[in-house]
Amino acid sequence: MQNSIDNVITHTGLPLAHRVRPPQNAAADRAPCLILLHGVGANEAGLAELGLRQDPRLLVVLPRGPIAFGPAQFGWFTVNFTTTGPVINPAQAEQSRQALIDFIGGLPDAHNVDPDRIWIAGFSQGGIMSASVALTRPDKVSGFGILSGRILPEIAPIMADRESLSGLRGYVSHGLHDQKLSIDFARHSQRLLNEQGVALDYHEYPAGHEFNETMQQGFCLWIKKQIDAERA
């Protein structure tokens, strides 16, 4: 099986094309896994560098969004940015949420992943989808990261109850000067997650709509701490 991050993998047991960075010391034991989701109009290769710098114990998976917008441009749902805020295609967002849940379910067999040690995170729309998966199916992941993203109000009717969410760990990072998704979205996520009892690491940075070096360092450190905590 090809599992270099340079190769795109299509697997009969997984609904999304993806790339994989295997753990440094592959063993018979199932590996902890980090799923990284790209933003709208990008593709999974754009997160390859971030995937390569993750903790060597992790198997890192970079799925490709199912909606094609152009050559090498993909996403999880269409969105229009209006004066009153972003307006999404909710049907597409729901289809992508279901595809990601199915994708996670197939990872143990496809890539020898430990189903009890899976984290999902992403930039912008990828962070939105990470939250949508984690907050509706907390049984599928140990934690999630919203990196310059938001929580869709559309998932409120299907969000898991507070008791189920209390076992999740969340990470939110956002730029104070984000012109695409304002810092207000991150602060709303912070309030909602605190209300739901999610153990949250929250960070604001003097940055725009980006995931710069300082932001990446903070996230990588958080993921490492999650692996250490699970092992303990």
**Has residue 207 got a pLDDT over 90?**
yes
List of residues 6+ apart from 181 with CB closer than 8 A: 86, 124, 148, 149, 150, 174, 209
Cβ proximity of 110 and 11 under 8 Å: yes
pLDDT score, position 3? 53
What distances in angstroms separate CA 157 from CA 92, 132, 153, one per listed residue? 17, 12, 9
The pLDDT of residue 135 is 98
Whole-number pLDDT of residue 188: 98
> In whole angstroms, what is the distance from residue 6 CA to residue 158 CA?
36
Residue 1: what pLDDT? 39
Question: How large a percentage of the chain has pLDDT more than 70?
Answer: 97
Is residue 2 very low, low, confident or very high in pLDDT (cuts 50, 70, 90)?
A: very low
- Average confidence (pLDDT) over 192-212: 97
Per-residue pLDDT of 123-146, as tens digits, reads 999 999 999 999 999 999 999 999
pLDDT the model gives residue 200: 98
Locate the domains of the chain by residue range: 18-231
Q: What pLDDT shows up at residue 231? A: 66
* Pairing outcome for strands 31-37 and 59-63: parallel
pLDDT of residue 179: 94
pLDDT tens-place string over residues 152-168:
999 999 999 999 999 99
Q: What angle do CA 86, 87, 92 make, to 5 degrees?
A: 125
Tell me the CA end-to-end span of the chain in Å, nearest whole number: 32
- Please determine, for residue 63, whether its predicted confidence score (pLDDT) is greater than 50: yes
Per-residue confidence (pLDDT) for residue 208, from 0 to 100: 98
**pLDDT exceeds 90 at position 27:** no
Q: For residue 232, what pLDDT is reported?
A: 57
Kindly tell me if the per-residue pLDDT of 26 is higher than 90: no
Say what the pLDDT of residue 11 is.
86
CATH of domain 18-231: 3.40.50.1820
Average model confidence (pLDDT) across the chain: 94
Closest CA to 51 of 41, 42, 38, 61: 61
